[in-house]
């Protein structure tokens, strides 16, 4: 992550703590991160042709009344400072800093088919016991190309127990 993203995220985290709005801002940023998956919004924030005034107007139309005023002020500040192209990295940095502050571990579980709540909770419980974190968040993703099994990504570690991976290893051993 960039230094700029880390600094902005840290500032937002500190202000949200000072104003006792950490949970609200965290939820706003997570929602905003999902919104950033829209190509139209990404094109808007990354466009050098659209000026800050128009970007602020668009953000006001999209988010005003839906996010905390502190979050709106953050958006405006970032846009006014011409740093809006770093919004995706800022969201990632803020969420990482929030998780660190609250001792929350996270993992991504990739499976060939959607897991039942029971299986997801079993994985969460197992990972939680091994991580030592106060709480645990799991992001679930479905990738049918895995054929079966699962992949768990936690930080910079990856455990691949997918059928696709095993078939690829078998194929390499015959080559």
| Same-domain status, 150 and 83 | no
Q: What is the pLDDT of residue 124?
A: 83
| Same-domain status, 20 and 88 | yes
Q: What is the CATH number of the domain that holds 13?
A: 1.10.520.20
The structural domain count of the chain equals 2
Q: Identify the DSSP state of 151.
A: E
| Same-domain status, 56 and 92 | yes
| Same-domain status, 162 and 82 | no
**Which residue, 21, 17, 8, is CA-closest to 74?**
8
| Same-domain status, 34 and 115 | no
| Same-domain status, 62 and 83 | yes
Q: What is the pLDDT of residue 133?
A: 75
CA distances from 135 to 9, 101, 138, 148 (A): 22, 12, 10, 28
In angstroms, rounded to a whole number, what is the distance separating the alpha carbons of residues 70 and 77? Answer: 10
**Which residue, 75, 135, 63, is CA-closest to 106?**
135
- What domain range includes position 43? 3-100
Q: What is the pLDDT of residue 55?
A: 96
| Same-domain status, 37 and 112 | no
| Same-domain status, 96 and 111 | no
| Same-domain status, 90 and 109 | no
Q: What is the pLDDT of residue 1?
A: 53
In angstroms, rounded to a whole number, what is the distance separating the alpha carbons of residues 33 and 45? Answer: 13
| Same-domain status, 47 and 94 | yes
- List the chain pLDDT tens, one digit each, 175 residues: 579 999 999 999 999 999 999 999 999 999 999 999 989 999 999 999 999 999 999 999 999 999 999 999 999 999 999 999 999 999 999 999 999 999 888 889 999 999 899 988 888 888 877 777 778 788 899 999 999 989 999 878 899 999 999 999 999 998 7
Q: What is the pLDDT of residue 121?
A: 86
Which of 63, 84, 100 represents a domain boundary (last residue)?
100
Which of 77, 100, 123 represents a domain boundary (last residue)?
100
CA distances from 76 to 21, 80, 107, 162, 163 (A): 18, 6, 32, 44, 47
| Same-domain status, 24 and 76 | yes
> For residue 147, what are its two tokens?
């054929």
Which of 100, 118, 150 represents a domain boundary (last residue)?
100
CA distances from 63 to 77, 78, 160 (A): 15, 15, 39
> For residue 22, what are its two tokens?
């950490």
> For residue 8, what are its two tokens?
């902005």
Q: What is the pLDDT of residue 16?
A: 97
């Amino acid at each position: 992550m960039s230094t700029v993203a880390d600094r902005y995220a840290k500032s937002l985290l500190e202000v949200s703590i000072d104003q006792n709005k950490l949970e609200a801002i965290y939820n706003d940023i997570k929602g905003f991160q999902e919104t950033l998956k829209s190509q139209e919004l990404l094109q808007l924030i990354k466009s050098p042709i659209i000026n800050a005034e128009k970007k602020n107007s668009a953000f006001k139309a999209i988010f005003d009344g839906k996010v905390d005023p502190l979050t709106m002020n953050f958006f405006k500040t970032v846009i006014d400072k011409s740093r809006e192209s770093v919004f995706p990295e800022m969201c990632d940095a803020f969420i990482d800093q929030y998780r660190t502050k609250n001792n929350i571990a996270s993992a991504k579980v990739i499976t060939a088919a959607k897991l039942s709540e029971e299986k997801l909770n079993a994985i969460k419980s197992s990972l939680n016991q091994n991580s030592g974190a106060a709480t645990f968040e799991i992001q679930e993703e479905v990738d049918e190309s895995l054929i079966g099994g699962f992949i768990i990504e936690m930080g910079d570690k990856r455990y691949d127990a997918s059928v696709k991976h095993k078939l690829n290893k078998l194929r390499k051993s015959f080559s």
